[in-house]
Amino acid sequence: MSKMYHKEKSIPIKSSASALYNNLSVLRIAPRCLTYFTVVHANVVNMVSASWDGLNYSHRQLQSKEGNVTTSSSLIMQAAWCVLPSRDLLVLTSQKGIQMYESDGSIMVYWHALDTPETPTAKAVFARGISAVREKHICVGVSSGSVLVFDVPSKGSNITLSEVLEEHKEAITDMASECSGSLECIADLVSADDSGLLCVWKSGEDFQLLNKIPGFDTSCSSVKLWKGTVIAGYGTGQIRLYEAVTGILHAEVNAHARWIYSLDIAPFTGLLLSAAEDSWVRVWHLSLTPETNSVEIEHMYNECVTDTQICGAKFCDGDGYAFAVTGYDLSEIIRYTQA
Amino acid sequence: MSQRTLPLLIINLGGEMIYILDQRLRAQDENDDKTQRGVWTDDDRKRVMNDIVGTMFNKTFLEELLRPQDLYSHRALRTVLTRIAHASIMRLNLASMDKLYDLMTMAFKYQIVLCPRPRDLLLITFNHTDTIKELVRDNPSLVNQINEAQRQLIEVYTPLSDGEFQLIRHTLLVLFQDMQIRVSIFLKEKIQNPNGHFVLQTSGPVPHGFEVPGLIRWFNAKGREVRRTRFPSGGSYTSAIRQASFDLSGDRVTLLGTNMYSTPSPEDMDSPTTSTWKPKQADTTPNPLATEELNLLAKLMGGMEVQKLLNVEAGFRVNLLALDQEEEEEEGIVISEGTGHQSSRVINIQVTQDQLASTELARIAGEFDEEGSQTEGPGNKGDDLLAMMDEL
């Protein structure tokens, strides 16, 4: 039996990936036959744009911001692109605040400072968890458990904080919006935190809480929302599939032997990617039967990235034809495409 | 990121340092080389160990560490650990301290990377405190001090969630990022690759609280399991073994953080295990790859030079390495004047001033002299700590 995916030439990055959840973001620019990747290294975001023929790379590095200080050592927790109908923005979340850039990282269009206490408190302060929602919102999580909702105009820098959602009590780990493209889905956004609690939201002028799915005191480090199904990856190496609006548990997978760091969905095909510190990347196939309201998950493929604690794994396209992987202390983005 | 990393960092790094120094001083005692000017007795070793352990587990020092604060930089960290190492009559020259620091940081990095669950960082810390307690067991008041420190750690860290422990671990991993120093014992035991990255097994027991990968279970709307299927996990994992103890004493289960330098007992000499190794003859021929690779342990194993000073000041200088002049130059090590074999001066921390010249901390470090006096300086990271250590 031939392998489903084979390894391609890796993309070098200027500095190695830090150990952080969801430490890889991918943006596909079809009209220009380019793919952008971002990987966080301490207080810097490494951005590389790669041409589809694999011949050209160009690099850019973005720094974390810290008030009016020129050089910042504020550690970045996550970097991710937010794709909205009118524009794409690159969002960076750090210990000090939230930075938003034009998608190529050329100009910073918005800065939101977090309330940081004068003297350090026992609980760390940082922003983490980034998602675009529907037409004009970008949501960002905070270590206190708050979810900040930003209103984003179709162009320009007049971005405003429109709402703060307070349901989580533990630090937000990840957030995801409905990615199937279907307008029928009621749930628009899911947020996850360190206790494993999942909150399901409907977006609008005011966001509405649809459901709270309790955790088992195990951190949910990565989450996805597809066709009304929440796919959650946990610190115990398990993946759970929940029906978003009702909270019904469809399936539980004993997927990994160590903490899961990244999940991704290819929305057109239902392929699911999971990656963990155990060095394994696994590809699954999800399918939904609306009549019976059941979810099917089937294991498709395993890839062992030898001696690597994987911290980021993402599909490079909506079909799941290719995926990319980052690992702690690795200064390259490893790529795989279907054979 | 996390404001709670410093105590774990200092105790674990300090623990590794104590393991290495203890082993070196024991080896010195057994060494038959009559060419040395002075000899380390077992009493000397115990005295040094007691002084170092006493400094590291000092109540006020620990209180300062436990205060929520950002992680120190490598420079600040190194200054603190050098100060701890010099808490007694023993002195290390710059090259020795360099290599000691590299070895202990790589050892701790290995423990953090391999740590199966973030909470196991605490077990690794307790392995260090358990072993140190054994080392100083003849000194009941020191054992009490360590127990007290452990109680404080239990109080502060037990309530933290797994997510918070993971944040501590991620913060530590940023500090050790890109450190790929090759360590002889790690290479030999095949836990480190020639490129410096650690070997991660895809086999063995899963951590406690985890399930072995390979099972998918489906549930109905009422929460009852209705179906299960299996998939190939690719690795060869087995069920979790017993739960470890997070108490003052108990079975820690993991070997991470235990003393891998402990001298083997006579019956162990012929059967190398992963946790002990046999002292070897020193390899004094310059390694062509020396600029990249540290054959630290080959050098540590023999030829350690110790000079007992003949003047009144009873300071002992320890040269962890048998470096000759050529080797030093080849490795690009700059040893400032006065560290040569002919010198009878005790080297103090001022030697490091060149490297740390640009930092405020270095200025303070440079002001430490044999009497241990310190000058006032503007508030800076580690300032209070060094001041306090000086008063110990």
* B169-190: pLDDT as tens digits: 999 999 999 999 999 889 998 9
| Residue A307 touches partner B, C-beta closer than 8 Å | yes
Q: Which residues from A are below 8 Å from B178, CB to CB?
A: 15-16, 329
Tell me the C-alpha to C-alpha distance, in Å, between residue B261 and each of A282, B40, B185, B311.
Answer: 39, 19, 10, 33
- Asked if A257's CB is within 8 angstroms of B206's CB, the reply is yes
Please report where in the chains the tokens 């999580």 appear, as a residue: A141
Got the DSSP string for A233-299? Answer: EETTSEEEEEETTT--EEEEEE--SS-EEEEEEETTTTEEEEEETTSEEEEEEEEEETTTTEEEEEE
| pLDDT given at position B328 | 37
Single-letter residue type at B158: T
Which of A19, A122, A235 is facing B173, going by the closest CB pair? A19
Query: Which residues are registered as beta bridge partners of A232?
Result: A223, A240
Question: How many angstroms away from the CA of B220 is the closest CA of chain A?
Answer: 7
Do B216 and A252 make contact, defined as CB atoms within 8 angstroms? Answer: yes
CB pairs A-B closer than 8 Å: 144
pLDDT band at residue B372 using 50, 70 and 90 as cut-offs: very low
Query: What pLDDT is attached to residue B386?
Result: 62
pLDDT at position B293 is 29
AA letter at A331: S
Average pLDDT over residues B294-300: 34
Give pLDDT tens digits for B120-156: 999 999 999 999 999 999 999 999 999 999 999 999 9
Model confidence at A289, pLDDT cuts 50, 70, 90, reads confident
Contact A42 B211 (CB under 8 A): no
Q: Do A218 and B233 touch (CB under 8 A)?
A: no
CB atoms within 10 A of CB B99: 24
Q: State mean pLDDT over B281-295.
A: 34
Read off the pLDDT of each residue in A53-68 and give the average, rounded to a whole number.
Answer: 87
- Mutate which of A128, A195, A279, A329 to test chain B, going by most B C-beta atoms within 10 A? A329
Question: How many other CB atoms are there within 10 angstroms of residue A322's CB atom?
Answer: 20
Rounded-to-integer distance, Cα B71 and Cα B142, Å: 27
Verify whether the Cβ–Cβ distance B235 to A258 is below 8 Å: no
Q: Which of B24, B17, B16, B21 is nearest to B279 (CA)?
A: B24
A172 DSSP 8-state letter = E
Tell me how far apart the terminal alpha carbons of chain A are, to the nearest angstrom: 12
Q: In chain B, whose CA is at the least distance from the CA of A311?
A: B170
Mean pLDDT of chain A: 93
* Chain A stretch 262-301, residues whose beta carbon is closer than 8 A to a beta carbon of chain B: 278-280, 297, 299
B340 CB-near residues (< 8 Å, 6+ apart): none
Q: What is the pLDDT of residue A102?
A: 93
- Identify the residue with better confidence: B320 or A167: A167
- Write out chain A residues lying below 8 Å of B238, CB-based: none
Q: Kindly give the pairing relationship between strand A280-289 and strand A238-243.
A: unpaired
Determine the pLDDT at residue B87. Answer: 85
Task: Check residue B284 and give its pLDDT.
Answer: 36
Residue type present at position B315 = G
Structure-derived torsion over alpha carbons of residues B377, B379, B381, B387, reported in degrees to the nearest 10? 50
The Cβ of residue A268 has, within 10 Å, a number of other Cβ atoms equal to 14
What pLDDT is attached to residue B29? 64
B47: exposed, middle or buried (Cβ count in 10 Å: 0-12, 13-18, 19+): middle
Q: Is the pLDDT of residue B330 over 80?
A: no
Which neighbouring-strand residues pair with A101?
A: A90, A108
Lowest pLDDT segment from A91-105, A148-162, B267-281: B267-281
Q: What is the pLDDT of residue B360?
A: 42
Q: Kindly determine whether residue B163 and residue A124, on different chains, have CB atoms separated by under 8 Å.
A: no
Measured in whole angstroms, how far is the alpha carbon of residue A137 from the centre of its chain?
16
Question: For an interface test with A, which of B115, B202, B212, B225 has the most A Cβ atoms less than 10 Å from its Cβ?
Answer: B202
pLDDT in tens, B229-266: 999 999 899 999 888 989 888 888 888 998 887 755 44
Supply the pLDDT for residue A67.
75
Cβ neighbour number for residue A301 with a 10 Å cutoff:
17
Q: Is the CB of residue A237 less than 8 Å away from at least one CB of chain B?
A: yes
Q: Please check the confidence at residue B349 and state whether its pLDDT lies above 80.
A: no
pLDDT band per the 50, 70, 90 thresholds, residue B374: very low
> Is any Cβ of chain B less than 8 angstroms from the Cβ of A3?
no
Is residue B366 over pLDDT 50?
A: no
Q: Nearest chain B Cα to A294, which residue?
A: B220
Mutation choice for A interface testing from B119, B210, B225 by most A CBs within 10 A:
B210
Question: CA of A241 to nearest chain B CA: how many angstroms apart?
Answer: 9
Is B211 close to A237, i.e. CB distance below 8 A? Answer: yes
A-chain CB neighbours of B111 within 8 Å are none
Residue B317, pLDDT above cutoff 60: no
What is the distance between the alpha carbons of residues A168 and A162, in angstroms, rounded to a whole number? Answer: 18
Torsion-angle region of B84 (φ positive above 0: left; ψ -120 to 50: alpha; else: beta) = alpha
Which residue from A219, A250, A279 is facing B200, i.e. has the nearest CB?
A: A279
Choose between A133 and B269: higher pLDDT.
Answer: A133
CA trace torsion B182, B185, B187, B188 (10° rounding): 160
CA–CA gap between residue B300 and residue B23 (Å, rounded): 10
Which of the four pLDDT bands, split at 50, 70 and 90, describes residue A44?
very high
Band of pLDDT at residue B73, cut at 50, 70 and 90: confident
What local confidence, expressed as pLDDT, does residue B389 receive? 60
Please tell me the least confidently modeled range out of A49-63, A227-241, A311-325, B283-297: B283-297
Chain A: residue whose CA lies nearest to B216: A253
- Binned at pLDDT 50, 70 and 90, residue A313 comes out as very high
Contact of A187 with chain B, judged by CB distance below 8 Å, is answered with no
Average pLDDT, chain B: 73
* Range among B183-187, B302-306, B376-380 rated most confident: B183-187
Using CB atoms, which residue from A75, A123, A297 is nearest to B174? A75
Cross-strand bridge partners of residue A301: A283
pLDDT at residue B280, as a whole number: 31
The answer, yes or no, to whether residue B286 has pLDDT greater than 70, is no
pLDDT at position A54: 76
Total residues belonging to chain A: 339
Distance CA B84, CA B11 (A): 11
Q: Pick the residue with more confidence: B268 or B218?
A: B218
pLDDT of residue B2: 87
The DSSP line for A306-336 is TT--EEEEEESSTT-SEEEEEEBT--EEEEE
Spatial distance between the Cα atoms of B154 and B151, rounded to a whole number of angstroms: 5
- The owner of tokens 């501590």 is B168
Q: Give A109's contacts (C-beta < 8 A, 6+ positions apart).
A: A89, A100, A101, A102, A156, A157, A159
Q: For residue B62, how many C-alpha atoms fall within 13 Å in the half-sphere facing its CB?
A: 20
Of the ranges A96-105, B49-58, B334-343, which one carries the lowest mean pLDDT score?
A: B334-343
Taken in order B181, B187, B192, B197, is the CA torsion positive or negative? positive
* Closest CA of chain A from B369, distance in Å: 32
